[in-house]
């Protein structure tokens, strides 16, 4: 069997760029339904602090340029204010505040992967890096309604 040749990192590669699109951020306050795809706890590369890395995929509305978009967040787990973002995410994924707000709360990411929540997106403006969407608010999936902005 003939082996396939592999390109090394220094070799030029041929890519069909005719289907490439450059996406602008979704408008501020757009409401979307999202699925939790990644929830990883680790150390921040910048500070070394314990951080939860969150990746959500937009599942609704089923509109071109919005469906399958990714939203990301990195939540510092050592700060009471940023822990509020994790609290809201967990509540949005269906957990009750009573089960979460404990001194010995155990986060089991595998139990949450695939669950959905309603997200209101924000826009972080940046001349240096370009504008990008942020996770502004998270609520339970059942709050996602017909009045969501497309």
Domain limits, the chain? 31-142
Q: What is the pLDDT along the chain (150 residues), one digit of tens a residue?
A: 555 556 667 788 899 998 887 789 999 999 999 999 999 999 988 888 899 999 999 999 998 889 999 999 999 999 899 999 999 999 999 999 999 999 999 999 999 999 999 999 999 999 998 899 999 999 999 999 845 444
- Distance of alpha carbon 90 from the chain centroid: 13
Q: Which of 48, 52, 57 has its CA nearest to residue 40?
A: 52
């Amino acid at each position: 069997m003939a082996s396939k040749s592999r390109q090394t990192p220094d070799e030029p590669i041929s890519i069909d760029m005719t289907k490439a699109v450059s996406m602008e951020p979704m408008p501020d306050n757009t409401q979307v339904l999202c699925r939790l795809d990644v929830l990883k706890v680790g150390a921040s590369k910048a500070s070394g602090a314990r951080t939860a890395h969150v990746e959500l995929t937009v599942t609704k509305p089923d509109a071109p340029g919005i469906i399958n978009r990714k939203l990301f967040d990195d939540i510092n787990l050592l700060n009471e204010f940023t822990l509020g973002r994790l609290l809201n995410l967990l509540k949005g994924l269906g957990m009750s505040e009573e089960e979460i707000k404990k001194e010995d709360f155990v986060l089991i990411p595998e139990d949450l992967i695939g669950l959905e929540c309603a997200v209101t997106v924000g826009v972080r403006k940046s001349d240096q890096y370009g504008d990008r969407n942020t996770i502004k608010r998270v609520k339970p999936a059942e709050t996602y309604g017909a009045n969501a902005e497309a």
